[in-house]
Chain A
Amino acid sequence: MTGVNLDPAKNILTRIEMSEKQTNGKIKAAYLIPLLQDIQESYGYLPREVLEYVSNFSGIALSRIFGVITFYEQFYLEPQGKHTIKCCRGTACHVKNGQKISDTISEVLKVNEGETTDDGVFTFETVACLGTCFLAPVMMIDDEYFGNLTSNEISKIIKRYKEGGTR
């Protein structure tokens, strides 16, 4: 395994308040989700070495941590791209040929849904609905919406992000 810097995780763990701890100093299991969110915020994903350290430090079993992570879509065990592209597959997008948008993103990035490009720039996901049906078909890159898409536009947008630009 490559060496992951544990310092950010250590920082997060030492900042945990007493009220989240048990009488023997171990961390309460109920605090696990906010803790994982903080760690993912810091690392971009949840590296196994960090999780093993967290388990040892907190007294929360690695199995429990793993169970929670695999239960929720929000947690990632693999490094994510610098940008996350979320393509909507809700009803409105579907009837506006959203599938074509999704296929095009896949083609341009050369990855399947749920994967990250080899250069680590993009992670591609589909989501049930982005809640912006008036923009259908729609995708998001990070916090930005791209609505009324045509498949032609997609490669241009992706190229812009790849060159370090944004919208």
Chain B
Amino acid sequence: MSTVNIRINGLDFQAEAGENILKYTKDHEIPIPHLCFDQRLTPGGACRMCIVQIEGRPGVHTACTMNATEGLSIITENDEIRRLRKSTLELILSEHKTNCTSCDKEGACQLQDYAYEYGAAEDKFPSIVTKNSADNYTEGGIAISYDVEKCIRCMRCVKICAEVQQCEALTFMGRSGEAIVSTPFSMLLTDSSCEMCGQCLDTCPTGALYDKEAAGKGRVRKLKLTRTTCLYCGVGCQLDLNVNPQTGKLVKVTSEAGVIPNDGNTCVKGRFGFDFIHRDERLTTPLIREGDGFREASWDEAIELVAKKFSEIKKESGSDSLAGLSSAKSGNEDNYIMQKFIRSIVGTNNVDHCARLCHASTVTGLVRAFGSGAMTNSINEFSNTPVIFVIGSNTSECHPVMGIKIRKAVAEGKTTLIVADPRKISLTDTAHFHLQHKPGSDVALINAIMYTIIDEHLSDESFIRERTENYDSFREAVLKCPPEFAEKVTGVKAEDIRKVARAYAGAESASIVYSMGITQHTTGTDNVLSLANLAMLTGNVGKAFSGVNPLRGQNNVQGACDMGALPNVYPGYQNVAMPEIHAKFEKAWKTELSDKVGLTVVEIMDKARSKEVRGLYVVGENPVLSDPDSNEVLQGLKNLDFLVVQDLFLTETAELAHVVLPACSFAERDGTFTNTERRIQRYRRAVDPVGNSKPDWEIICSIANKMGASWAYFDVSEIMDEIALVTPIYGGINYRRIDDVGLQWPCVDNEHEGTAVLHKGKFTRGLGKFHAVNFMPQKELPDGDYPFILSTGRMLQHWHTGTMTRKSKVLDQIVPKSYLEINASDAGRLGIVTGEEISVSSRRGYICVDAKISERMAEGVVFLTFHFKESPANVLTIAALDPLAKIPEFKACAVKIAKL
């Protein structure tokens, strides 16, 4: 990019050649009015408000369609321009019903501001306002309202839906003065291709599009915005919580174009998923078990009881009879304090969290291959990656804002997209290749891809020679798996495997994206190692637009792992069994520590059943619904002598507790989350804590202090300072530095700018290590009794055990109940129709659920989400574990299906 000299109002500036002039002036705070411009969209020059004069050229020109060229000289405002803008505004006002007195947008409306600034008259021209009619696409719908009388046809909603969200749910119906925004055939948004992201609400310059639930709850100009990090997936979108200071309630969620990493975009959960904050069911005071129920208690009494009971059990049965489950939903500081409490006060390494259930195999596999278990590259690279290979990740539903980046890159012709998934997930709609392999056959598929790469000499020889080791034994294993063999195991045609291999290996750089479809298998670690092999074989690690990129599911699952809420490592993946590390933490925490590796989630439940674990402290998790084989989990939890649950709600797990402690939600406190690209970002207090609820770290500190510690953190930033001291990869992190934009670890000291791409020049472990991986079938194969493979996962609109999302009015309206997705021919054979309640059973239990015939399923495979307690999927799943990572096989078990 070259720099050019431009003049604006007689002043000299330098811009990049081709830079958009309106964006440039916005960034330099030179005011040019605009209504149809949004920096995320292709400029249209539709509203004519950004007209400027160019020196040496007659007439006026729109700044939004002008690019910086050498010598360009513009005047942004003079009497002539003002006069033209005024009459343009008057024309726009003739099609806009100015009922500002009752409009939510009053005082924060661009049109109103400009009308004032330019003295435009509302009634200069006769009104041609189109009346609202019954076939308005939002009439009778949910969440979003379109008031055609306020619409100025700027096209921002239509364009953001098409260009950014890639949904194309909206269009103009009709033409000229009669054109209105609509869906095809004016269908409801929920019947259209709309994903209810609400990007259209955010971009509308007037009050034409508004959030139905927010209407009347506070004028936009009076709302107080607090920048925070989204609580849902690992993308870590930056959101602005809009709170009405008078009511103290959250009114709506917005985001700002240009923010990292989401550029002002959100998904349906980020936009509409926060009703839970103000729900009456929130826990407001500690509860202590009394018979079959609970009684309310004071904090003092509850803390005292927990400390006494933990101390008793520790004295009677030793430290290892206690365990803690930390939370990937809580902040870094909470997780740090939790593991510090379990390790230094309780005296055991029995601390784990739900990362065990999602990416344990990622950590195990990638640490072995590369030396670090995190996503190697960064989210913004996905806008420009030549080849993206998505395997076992339903990106557009589970990491939606990441999904839209990929979809956009494909639509713009920048990316060749390869998807390997047993389901026709929505990404397959735009993919160049879809390999619909059988669940559990990933290793065979990837090995066959690598066979082709080796066979056709497409590998990166110099990368293999200089950066890796153990190539020969790996090669030997791969050569046992030609595409013809893989075809039998995976169900994917050998020729398709070859085509994909050529596309991936032939790219200048190619990126692998994966998620639970890879990790949640008994062969999870093998799957991850295979992907690492594939990346190294083609030299696609350690540079931009490449890498192996596990997408982390929870908002802070990366952070909870980083903070050492794992039984084998201290913060920063420092091994508990290594003497020098052990000594370092004994010194830092001024106490004796255990050097014995602790128990994992599933092992804790096993040991609870056998009474070897007697006391458990669960922070913000709901294992009754989230862990495999629920009946066994229930039995374990019921067997405990003392169960403490700390949560926002009385969850299915909390109902079994002896003491329940009310925690604040993320909107009521400060802290940090680490997103999937290793970026440590702030979340901030926007509303007051509900009732007597407290931040997790404060509660844990009180218990620790009651048990003899003397921890005194003035606020949460002091905890981060301590984290930075003991955690090398977080060494340069402090609240001042990440106030505006988060930093990506490793960030070793205060001068370090963070790391966008891992393993540049050298792997964390030195040389990248190839692993010989042979195909092994899943644990439980379908047979005559249980003929279907059940795969489980998430959907766009809901989250995990539904504790939060099912309390959102909008999300609950979109998907109120669970359904089992089944292929049409399977359903036909069983005589099952969509909407019919059926029974699904495995060797471990059975549930009832509605059937939904879906083109997305292959024959013999059915799919269920685990969000719904009425149809708990994990009653069916198998607690078979990956031998290394101890991750359960959520993605494949055998079930049978019957009519009721």
Contact = CB atoms under 8 A, between A and B. Distances in A.
A25 B416 CA distance: 12
A85 B410 CA distance: 46
A71 B430 CA distance: 27
B190 to A, nearest CB: 15
Nearest to A77: B185
Interface size class of B (residues with CB under 8 A): 20 to 34
A62 B185 CA distance: 9
Contact of A66 (B162, B173, B413, B416): B173
A24 B432 contact: yes
A67 B431 contact: no
Interface string B185-197: 1000000110000
Given A24-B431, A62-B184, A63-B183, A71 B174 contact: yes
Contacts of A24: 410, 417, 430-432
A12 interface: no
Given A70-B173, A70-B175, A71-B175, A65 B184 contact: yes
A67 B168 CA distance: 11
Contacts of B172: 67, 70-71
Interface in A24-60: 24-26, 48, 51, 59
Contacts of B431: 24
Contacts of B175: 70-71
B168 A61 contact: yes
B654 to A, nearest CB: 45
Nearest to A60: B168
A2 to B, nearest CB: 16
Contacts of A67: 171-173
Task: State the main secondary structure of chain B at its contact with A.
Answer: loop
B44 to A, nearest CB: 15
A51 B193 CA distance: 14
A38 to B, nearest CB: 20
Contacts of B716: none
Nearest to B166: A61
A63 B169 contact: yes
Nearest to A51: B184
Contacts of A48: 185
Contacts of B167: 61
B312 interface: no
B410 A63 contact: no
Contact of A59 (B169, B183, B430): B430
Contact of B171 (A22, A59, A64): A64
Contact of B184 (A26, A59, A66, A71): A66
Contacts of B192: 62-63
Nearest to B855: A56
Nearest to A68: B171
A11 interface: no
A14 interface: no
Nearest to B193: A61
B739 interface: no
B653 to A, nearest CB: 43
B562 to A, nearest CB: 38
B342 to A, nearest CB: 50
Interface string B426-444: 0001111000000000000
B185 A66 contact: yes
Given A24-B410, A70-B174, A70-B175, A63 B193 contact: yes
B566 interface: no
A23 interface: yes
Contacts of A63: 162, 168-171, 183-184, 192-193
Query: Which residue, A63, A64, A71, has most C-beta atoms of chain B within 10 A?
Result: A63
Contacts of B193: 61-63
Interface in B133-190: 162, 167-175, 182-185
Contacts of B183: 63, 66
Nearest to B161: A63
Contacts of A64: 162, 168, 171
A59 B168 CA distance: 11
Nearest to B178: A70
B165 to A, nearest CB: 11
Contacts of A61: 162, 167-169, 193
A24 B173 CA distance: 29
A65 B171 CA distance: 9
20 contacts: A24-B432, A51-B184, A59-B430, A61-B168, A61-B169, A61-B193, A62-B168, A62-B192, A62-B193, A63-B168, A63-B169, A63-B170, A63-B184, A65-B184, A66-B173, A67-B173, A70-B174, A71-B172, A71-B174, A71-B175
In order of increasing CB-CB distance, the 8 nearest A-B pairs are A61-B168, A67-B171, A66-B184, A63-B171, A62-B184, A24-B432, A70-B173, A71-B175
Interface of B: 162, 167-175, 182-185, 192-193, 410, 413, 416-417, 429-432
Interface of A: 22-26, 48, 51, 59, 61-67, 70-71
Given A63-B170, A66-B183, 16 more contacts: A25-B432, A48-B185, A59-B429, A61-B162, A61-B167, A62-B184, A62-B193, A63-B171, A63-B184, A64-B171, A65-B184, A66-B184, A66-B185, A70-B172, A70-B173, A71-B172
